[in-house]
A and B are shown apart, each in its own frame.
Chain A
Amino acid sequence: MSSAVDYVVGRNPEMGPDGTPVPSPIDPFDVPEPELGSSTMLVNIGPQHPATHGVLRLVVELDGETVVSVVPRLGYLHSSFEKLGEYRTWNQIVTLTDRMDYLAPLIYNCAYVMAVEKLMGIEVTDRCRVARVICMEMDRIFSHLLWLGTWSIDVGAFTPFLYAFQQREKVYRLHEALTGARITTSATRIGGMMADLPEGWARGVREFADNLPATLDEVDALLTCNAIHVGRTQGIGAISAEEAVNYGLTGANLRASGVPYDVRKDRPYYDYESYDFEVPIGCHGDCYDRYLVRMEEMRQSIRILHQALDRLPDGPMDVEDPRISLPSKTDCMSDMESMIHHFKLITEGIPAPAEDCWFSIEGSKGELGMYVVGDGGPKPVRWRIRPPSFVNLSAIPRLAEGHLMADLIMINASLDIVLGEIDR
């Protein structure tokens, strides 16, 4: 290799002829980078990679270590929920919803039955409304805790993962007490819940809500002012408010950019307007703000949980309409007519009017919309989910452009995606 600098053997290379020091010819910063032309490199991440949070695949074009473009490839978990739903009766679909977002199953259960109830014109009981609010806020925390664990693993910290999973185990137990399953809850039915809340369940939720802030404080102390964490997330993947709205971002990703759009406040359902809680917003729209917004959302959810537990009324859980609600098990086993009633309701299903209905709630990942189309029969013509993380992920080519490869991992983590819902 020929060098542009002439070496003079036997002379002190640090002093020039006039006695002034000259820069070292082997100073690495003086050597120009080799001319590589405009060639870029393709790197494939996934679909089986621990940092993509599922079976997402990112094909990344790199110039050195800088991301030139990202092409996400989806569909590695396409389970055709929407097609399958057209072959199921309205109540059977509930079972499918929690397999779509297995990080916050109760939110999906509730969102789906709320859309169908709106389509059918059913108003659920007061107890059911409050119980569903408790379920949804608990699962918002449940989902954010998993995000917190994987996020901290991506940033290189393993301890918050263990802290988060300890708290998640408590929610697992509450799920189990409510429904018998740890993840796939299927807790809701059209017009009510699968069963009434078990004895002492509300006390368990309150205990969880009481204990969680201590864990959040611990994680706060570990991450929020941690120099590595701050350095890897501040100013990374920033997006302006206008652009975020234009990309259709929702949830914490949109609020981190400073847009206070929260379906619970803007289009309240289940008396959310009567709960006292704040909607945290960021001002930079970068990964760090998304982290702060989610951390604060958990604390606000705890506030809602306390208020909902205080106002949880007594009374029936299911609507008192025999065309919708099943008779009690005792009646079924002792009364012939109730058994026929049960049989007909299960085999024939509940008919829905020939209309369509769009209903969206604030899910843990963003605006979770359900679009249901009925045709007068017991099965939907079309059941469509507006997947928040699908739309959020579509902004990743824009967010990652010009950042380093390692930042792409943090950007992906900050979007809080779940592949079951993206691919459906």
Chain B
Amino acid sequence: MGLDKPGLLGSGTPTFLTTRLDFVVNWARRNSLWPMPFGTACCAIEMMASAASDYDLARFGMERMSFSPRQADVLICAGRVPYKLAPVLRRIWDQMMQPKWCISMGACASSGGVFDVYSMVQGIDTIVPVDVYIPGCPPRPEGLIYGLMMVQEKIRGESLANHTALRAEDPLATGRPRAGDEEVSDLTGPFGNSTHQNRVSGLVETDAIGRAEDRLP
């Protein structure tokens, strides 16, 4: 049955396709990403603009903004994250199901931005693992869309063969910072303008800032 019906590409063509499982799984995943918008500040407004009529994020498969972390695939952290909000961010990341990805949108989420102050997390990659950093203050909607497409590119390269290793999560790491003390100190050293401006702590020697899990899709 079914052989007499018109096929996928019209009548007379085969009714089946052969393909790689990796390709199909990745194709399905990357074209129906549901973002979890963790919007806090200015970047959240640009995220709303991306979802509104002019930029229309739904064209790329982000049809549904999922406000529940349980049904989301991509965490978009848009805006500055104070320490008071850090446990909330970590909990939402822990609540998301695998497979999941994370986008750090804007300068404040990626590095603390201009807010090198007592209350601000200096880059959310100390709290959760980040896949794509989007620069800008705030990034334009095109920037966010490009970042999401980079996540799609990254998904395209994944393979079910090493899936277990890729998606492994340590249950004991739930609710803990992603980066250890030493890495946090490395990442958050004062730099640039903020060092010059600081009356109290003065100039501090900084080493080269190396992010351990820098990676390109």
Contact = CB atoms under 8 A, between A and B. Distances in A.
Contacts of A335: none
Given A80-B119, A161-B52, A166-B54, A102 B82 contact: no
Given A76-B82, A79-B120, A80-B119, A165 B42 contact: no
Given A83-B117, A84-B117, A102-B45, A77 B67 contact: no
Contacts of B138: 182-184
Interface in A95-152: 95-96, 99, 102-103, 146
A55 interface: yes
A388 to B, nearest CB: 18
B120 A80 contact: yes
Given A47-B85, A84-B115, A88-B197, A184 B49 contact: no
A237 interface: no
B53 A183 contact: no
Contacts of A168: 49, 52
B137 interface: yes
Chain B CB count within 10 A is highest, among A47, A54, A79, for: A79
B85 A165 contact: no
A75 interface: yes
B41 interface: yes
B40 A172 contact: no
B198 interface: yes
A83 B118 contact: yes
Q: For chain B, which range describes its interface: under 10, 10 to 19, 20 to 34, or 35 or more residues?
A: 20 to 34
A99 B41 contact: yes
Contacts of A55: 40, 85
Interface in B143-202: 197-199
B48 interface: yes
A169 interface: yes
Interface string B48-79: 11001110000000000001000000000001
A275 interface: no
Contact of B117 (A80, A165, A420): A80
A99 B117 CA distance: 15
Contact of A78 (B49, B53, B92, B119): B119
A419 interface: yes
Contacts of B82: 75-79, 423
B114 A162 contact: no
Nearest to B86: A76
A184 B42 contact: yes
B88 interface: yes
B46 interface: yes
Contacts of B118: 80, 83
Choose among A48, A182, A183, A184 the residue with the greatest number of B CB atoms under 10 Å from its CB: A48
B41 A102 contact: yes
Contact of B67 (A50, A99, A102, A419): A50
B215 interface: no
Most B Cβ at <10 Å: residue of A77, A95, A420 = A77
Contacts of B197: 87-88
A80 to B, nearest CB: 4
A168 B46 CA distance: 11
Given A87-B197, A165-B52, A420 B42 contact: yes
A49 interface: yes
B8 to A, nearest CB: 35
Interface in A27-84: 47-50, 54-55, 75-80, 83-84
Contacts of A184: 42, 137-138
Interface in B73-127: 79-80, 82, 84-85, 88, 92, 114-115, 117-120
Nearest to B41: A420
B29 interface: no
B128 to A, nearest CB: 14
Contact of A84 (B40, B46, B92, B114): B114
Interface in A277-305: none
B150 to A, nearest CB: 21
Nearest to B44: A54
Contacts of A84: 114-115, 117
A228 B44 CA distance: 28
Contacts of A49: 67
A44 to B, nearest CB: 11
B46 A183 contact: yes
Nearest to B53: A162
29 contacts: A47-B85, A47-B88, A48-B38, A49-B67, A50-B37, A50-B67, A54-B41, A55-B85, A76-B82, A76-B84, A76-B85, A77-B85, A79-B80, A80-B115, A80-B119, A83-B118, A84-B117, A87-B198, A102-B45, A103-B45, A162-B53, A165-B52, A165-B53, A166-B52, A168-B49, A183-B46, A183-B138, A420-B41, A420-B42
Interface of B: 37-42, 44-46, 48-49, 52-54, 67, 79-80, 82, 84-85, 88, 92, 114-115, 117-120, 137-138, 140, 197-199
Given A87-B199, A146-B45, 4 more contacts: A48-B88, A87-B198, A88-B197, A166-B54
